[in-house]
Amino acid sequence: LKPRGRSGSIVKVEQIGDRLEEVLDRSAYVNINADWVNAKGAWLIHVVLICVGKLIIDTIPGMTQQVSWTLVNLIYLALTYLMFHWVTGIPFENDLHGGAYDDLTLWEQIDDGAQYTPAKKWLLGVPIALFLASTHYTNYNPWLFAVNISALVFVLIPKLPQLHRRRVRFIHDYASGVATPVTP
Amino acid sequence: MSSTTESLNALLASLGQAFDKIPGSAVLVRYVKSSHQNDPGRTVLEVILIIFAIFTLLQSRTRGNDGRHFIKFEDKEIDELVDEWTPEPLAAPLNAFEASDLAAVPIIVGHNGPKPTLARQPTKMIANLASYNFTGLAGKEVIKERAIETLRKYGLGSCGPPGFYGTLDVHMTLERDIADFLGTEAAIIYSQGFSTISSVIPAFCKRGDIIVADRGVNFTIQKGIQISRSTVRWYDHNDLKSLEDVLDSVEKERKKRRGPLTRRFIITEGIFEKDGAMIDLPKLIELKYRKKYRLILDESISFGTVGRTGRGLTELYNVPATKVDILIGSMANGLCAAGGFCAGSQHVIDHQQINGPSFVYSASMPALLAVSASEGIDILRSSPSILTKLQQNIRVARTILDELDCISVPSHPASPIIHLHIRKPTPTLLHPSSAVSAGHSLKPSNPTSVLPREAVNWDWDTDAEERALQQVVEEALRRGVMITRAKRLRGQEMVEARPSIKLALTSELSTDEVKKAVKVVAQALKDVLRK
């Protein structure tokens, strides 16, 4: 007679922990997948891509300024969220680290997990500056304003240091939710 | 009241004038006016955002990994720590037991063999039951002559890893010989027996793969599993029912997690080096095919010692060696040469030529040892009488040892290494705990823990038993039989092994000599342990 398993909560925040072997495998080589945010031109490229994107979107016939700025905002937020906070693991030089980064997003890999580094400050400032510029240059109707600001807040949440190495899970069944089962 | 408001107004007016004097203030005022757009609600939200951004920009940088391992020392504390530091000696002084252990190691004069001469006792020994010389290949003249020929032709060392000018034609001949002997597609040689399986496991098992291993596997396999970073689940020692339960639980775990199908391996030994138990190979193979796992079988002890011509467990159970995915053996133990090998399909071997750490980074074995191993295989192939003699000797030894009631023998009757544990006085059968300690646990053990459920009942005194067994060894040495305790790395293995005496039988001694020697051992055991 097996006891009934614990029912999962609707929303659960769980911490990604570290085993000694993972720390060792991470510190063996430099992680080029996370170091590029400190390289030359990595900051300016955000501005360049946003301007280019705005220009391209403006060429679509029948585009109003409100919709154009909203689109630029939303596409930038979506792509940066996907890149920094959704995908985990590393695409390049995977063999050097042997899967030690498989549970970490790019944001958590930057600067070995230090908070408030220059790169992170820049990456947090750019969406805010983009939003403020967009509200300055157009007059949003209330709906678009709401959409924009909620998207911005949604993307700012995982950048907070309180959410470092924490995952918010919705309606998960299993008791131990970490992706790879760990041995004690 | 009016005077305070008047003075407040005057203050604000003077502030406004001062502000207007700052260059660029008009731009700022214009920007804020056009941003505000007569909507105070939005402006409040934007101001909150700006304050948050400025707050974040002003924070100072923290340490990586939450600064968990960083302790901030004061200068005075640093000075104190530096002053009181003394370097540890290069060689730590031995404690009393270690020192006596070192002094008790026998020194052999001349060459080792079934009847060596010791430095301490000039009279010849009756028997050597300590060295691994199962099929007597260690002293064969044929092998010695061929080795000397090879030494004259190739020199001693091979001067390089196998992938970098270290492979000689004799190595390739040996690999072919091993593959032919066992009946697999191909084989690959490693230059040290210890590092063979601890290289093979990480070559195939990576982080995220599942390994189901026996709790009694030897130290090398434990190290290999640790290096591989795979997920390990343990099953009870030599218990196929427990293995099946663990395989089922792994599958259930994976289904619950809805994870992808990863590579899965079962790792076990043919004859366990820890206690001499032998596995049931046909059942294990049937289980692995049913549950779709790959089998890594470590035949370090059983290769060259069991089976009609010494091919190992596959010959003994009449199972084709191609059914075992990765078969590892030791030429140091079985063929009295050096090193180890891994046999399997061509893909398995090709993968190891690039990905086996010991193959890539260690030097290949000297040519003369490769030739000795090849000769050893020829001898085994052509004279199965050696194996029958070995099995006869084992049987004779076991009949004498099984009669003793001061020791228990966990080894399989056909195993060439015989472990002797000190038998504890059995508890009265009325005691309820005896049901558990009788060997069959009531609940299944936890697969994630390397210790079995009975580990809480393990209460042997390691030091006392080691000392008692060392006395037995010295007593037997005085009477002319060289035996040894099983030497373990205390504190380094995942599961501490019970202290034991490890007898290694050999076919070089005649049955009468074995009988005499084992009787001496039995007498020594009785004399020391009865006290």
Q: Are residues B173 and B55 in the same domain?
A: no
- How high is the pLDDT of residue B320? 95
B135: nearest Cα among B374, B416, B414: B416
Q: Are residues B389 and B372 in the same domain?
A: no
- Dist. CA A123–CA A104, nearest whole Å: 18
- How high is the pLDDT of residue B28? 80
pLDDT bucket at A173, cuts 50 / 70 / 90: low
Residue B62: list chain A partners with CB under 8 A. Answer: 114-116, 161
Flag if B229 and A98 touch (Cβ within 8 Å): yes
Phi, psi of B241, rounded to the nearest 5 degrees? -65, -45
CB B340 within 8 Å of CB B300: yes
B455: nearest Cα among B270, B250, B237: B237
Helical pair B25-36 and B2-21, crossing angle rounded to 10 deg: 110
- Where does B239-293 show beta strands of DSSP type E? 264-269
> Would B24 be classed as within a structural domain?
no
Q: Could you tell me how far CA A113 lies from the centroid of its own chain? A: 14
Q: Are residues B243 and B279 in the same domain?
A: yes
Q: Cβ–Cβ contacts within 10 Å for residue B340, how many? A: 30
CB B312 within 8 Å of CB B303: yes
Distance from CA of B165 to the nearest CA of A (A): 26
> Would B518 be classed as within a structural domain?
yes
Collapsing DSSP states into helix, strand and coil, what is residue A28? coil
> Would B69 be classed as within a structural domain?
yes
pLDDT, one tens digit per residue, over B139-192 is: 899 999 999 999 999 999 888 999 999 999 999 999 999 999 999 999 999 999
- How high is the pLDDT of residue B21? 81
Helix H or strand E segment including B464: helix B462-478
Supply the CATH number for residue B333's domain: 3.40.640.10
> Would B260 be classed as within a structural domain?
yes
Q: Are residues B132 and B223 in the same domain?
A: no
Q: Where are the alpha helices (DSSP H) in A38-166?
A: 44-58, 65-81, 94-97, 106-109, 118-137, 142-156
> Would B125 be classed as within a structural domain?
yes
pLDDT, one tens digit per residue, over A77-93 is: 999 999 999 999 899 88
Quote the tokens at residue B288.
């692995």
- How high is the pLDDT of residue A158? 93
Flag if B256 and A183 touch (Cβ within 8 Å): no
> Would B91 be classed as within a structural domain?
no
- How high is the pLDDT of residue B48? 92
Interface test with A, best of B207, B211, B223 (most A CBs within 10 A): B207
Residue A70 clears pLDDT 60, i.e. is over it:
yes
Q: Are residues B408 and B373 in the same domain?
A: no
Half-sphere exposure of A14 (CA within 13 A, CB side): 18
> Would B28 be classed as within a structural domain?
no
For residues A21-37, average pLDDT: 87
Q: Higher-confidence residue: B224 or B125?
A: B224
- Dist. CA B249–CA A181, nearest whole Å: 13
| Final residue of a structural domain among B351, B366, B382 | B382
- Report the residue count for chain B: 531
Residue B431 clears pLDDT 50, i.e. is over it:
no
Collapsing DSSP states into helix, strand and coil, what is residue B211? strand
- How high is the pLDDT of residue B442? 62
Residues 6+ apart with CB under 8 A from B531: none
Q: Are residues B82 and B110 in the same domain?
A: no
- Dist. CA B136–CA B508, nearest whole Å: 5
- List C-alpha distances in Å: B527 to B310, B449, B478: 36, 39, 13
Flag if A98 and B31 touch (Cβ within 8 Å): no
Q: Are residues B371 and B392 in the same domain?
A: no
Of the candidates A100, A114, A161, the beta carbon closest to that of B64 is on A114
pLDDT, one tens digit per residue, over B219-258 is: 999 999 999 989 999 999 999 999 999 999 999 988 888 7
Supply the CATH number for residue B489's domain: 3.90.1150.10
Of the candidates A128, A149, A182, the beta carbon closest to that of B53 is on A128
Residue A170 clears pLDDT 80, i.e. is over it:
no
B101: nearest Cα among B497, B473, B420: B473
CB B217 within 8 Å of CB B272: yes
Phi, psi of A82, rounded to the nearest 5 degrees? -60, -45
B351: containing domain: 156-382
- Dist. CA B47–CA B29, nearest whole Å: 15
B188-216 burial, b if ≥16 CB within 10 A, otherwise e?
A: bbbbbbbbbbbbbbbbbbebbbbbbbbbb
- How high is the pLDDT of residue B32? 75
Quote the tokens at residue B384.
């199965």
Tokens 């940088």 correspond to what residue? B61
Q: Across the strands, what pairs with A105?
A: A88
- List C-alpha distances in Å: B387 to A160, B383, B516: 71, 8, 20
A108: nearest Cα among A129, A125, A73, A83: A83
Residue B253: list chain A partners with CB under 8 A. Answer: 181
What is the overall mean pLDDT for chain A?
85
For residues A149-154, average pLDDT: 94
Q: Are residues B406 and B503 in the same domain?
A: yes
Residue A121: list chain B partners with CB under 8 A. Answer: 56-57
Region label for B335, one of left (φ > 0), alpha (ψ between -120 and 50) or beta (otherwise): alpha
DSSP class of B271: B
Q: Are residues B40 and B101 in the same domain?
A: no
Q: Cβ–Cβ contacts within 10 Å for residue B261, how many? A: 9
| Final residue of a structural domain among B382, B397, B414 | B382
Q: Are residues B122 and B256 in the same domain?
A: no
Flag if B65 and A125 touch (Cβ within 8 Å): no
Distance from CA of A62 to the nearest CA of B (A): 25
Residue A183: list chain B partners with CB under 8 A. Answer: 231-232, 448
Collapsing DSSP states into helix, strand and coil, what is residue B50? helix
- Dist. CA B43–CA B48, nearest whole Å: 9
- Where does B473-519 show beta strands of DSSP type E? 481-482, 484-485, 501-504
Q: Across the strands, what pairs with B484?
A: B502
Q: Could you tell me how far CA B52 lies from the centroid of its own chain? A: 54
Q: Integer distance in angstroms from the first to the last C-alpha of chain B? A: 107
- Dist. CA B293–CA B266, nearest whole Å: 7
Tokens 């009488």 correspond to what residue? B385
Q: Cβ–Cβ contacts within 10 Å for residue B109, how many? A: 10
Number of domains comprising chain B = 3
> Would B180 be classed as within a structural domain?
yes
Flag if A179 and B259 touch (Cβ within 8 Å): yes
The answer, as to whether pTM is greater than 0.80, is: yes
B408: nearest Cα among B500, B486, B504: B500
Residues above pLDDT 90, as percent of chain B: 65
Distance from CA of A153 to the nearest CA of B (A): 9
- Dist. CA B266–CA B295, nearest whole Å: 5
How would you classify the pairing of strands B340-344 and B326-330? Answer: antiparallel
Q: Are residues B195 and B252 in the same domain?
A: yes
- How high is the pLDDT of residue A172? 62
CB B115 within 8 Å of CB B508: no
**ipTM score assigned to the predicted complex:** 0.86
Quote the tokens at residue A110.
């930057």
Using the Cβ of A146 and the Cβ atoms of chain B, whether some distance falls under 8 Å is answered with: no
| Inter-chain CB pairs, A–B, below 8 Å | 80
Q: What is the DSSP string of B141-173?
A: HHHHHHHHHHHHHH-S---S-IIIII--HHHHH
- Dist. CA B353–CA B294, nearest whole Å: 20
Q: Cβ–Cβ contacts within 10 Å for residue A111, how many? A: 19
- How high is the pLDDT of residue B204? 95
Considering only residues 17 to 46 of chain A, which have any Cβ-Cβ distance to chain B shorter than 8 Å? 18, 21, 23, 25
Phi, psi of B376, rounded to the nearest 5 degrees? -60, -40
Q: Are residues B252 and B399 in the same domain?
A: no
pLDDT bucket at A26, cuts 50 / 70 / 90: confident
